[in-house]
Amino acid sequence: MLSQLVYVSNRKQHCTEEEIEKILASCKKNNPPLNITGILLYSDKKFIQLVEGESKVIMELYDKIKKDDRHTNPMMISLSPVKEKSFPSWHMGSKKLPAGKVDYKTDITTEDKNVFESILNGKEENGERVLNMLKKFF
Ligand SMILES: Cc1cc2nc3c(=O)[nH]c(=O)nc-3n(C[C@H](O)[C@H](O)[C@H](O)COP(=O)(O)O)c2cc1C
């Protein structure tokens, strides 16, 4: 069964841009053989990651990521069974969110902004709404 998991966490200060490069290198090395795809959005303070793949594999990955010292306080926002992947060609698409202005691919509404804020605060629980929001970045 395919699952999609989304979580937010706090990026630690010692997690430099160089560390982000290392995280992405781990993704590039480890995710393809496990058929894991997804996206990683990050700012100076936060990570938002969506990972998708076989349920068991995704839970094992999340257990590993949770223990990573480069972030704290991982909060799962949604975990949903899916029929197909949303980001099948991204072994980990990544995008940096600028501190002030968020660079959305399309113009977004005030409602979207509110949803995004609640995702960042770990308060959004509607998986479909989260997914639709994240898709706007790619
Ligand atoms: C926010 C965040 C996201 C991560 N995402 C992944 C991931 O998708 N796949 C992965 O293998 N490691 C990911 N990691 C890194 C793992 O926690 C771990 O360091 C890595 O898998 C170790 O593997 P390696 O020693 O083979 O490089 C992530 C770490 C952080 C902090």
Model confidence at 121, pLDDT cuts 50, 70, 90, reads confident
Query: What is the number of the ligand 1 atom nearest to the C-alpha of 22?
Result: 27
Are β-strands 46-54 and 2-11 bridged in parallel, bridged antiparallel, or unpaired?
antiparallel
Question: For the sheet containing 71-82, what is the strand order?
Answer: 71-82, 2-11, 46-54, 37-42, 93-96
What is the number of residues in the chain? 138
pLDDT of residue 99: 62
Give the Å distance between the CA of 109 and the centre of ligand 1. 33
What is this structure's pTM? 0.92
Say yes or no to pLDDT of 100 above 70: no
Report the nearest-CA residue for atom 9 of ligand 1: 27
Number of compact structural domains in the chain: 1
Mean of pLDDT over the chain:
90
DSSP element (H, E) containing 50: strand 46-54
For residues 2-9, give the mean pLDDT: 96
Closest CA to 15 of 48, 42, 49: 42
Q: What is the CATH number for 47? A: 3.30.70.100
**CA dist., res. 3 & res. 74, Å (int):** 18
Give the Å distance between the CA of 110 and the centre of ligand 1. 33
User: How confident is the model over 36-63, as pLDDT tens digits?
Assistant: 999 999 999 999 999 999 999 999 999 9
Query: What is the number of the ligand 1 atom nearest to the C-alpha of 26?
Result: 27
pLDDT of residue 101: 54
Domain range spanning residue 112?
2-135
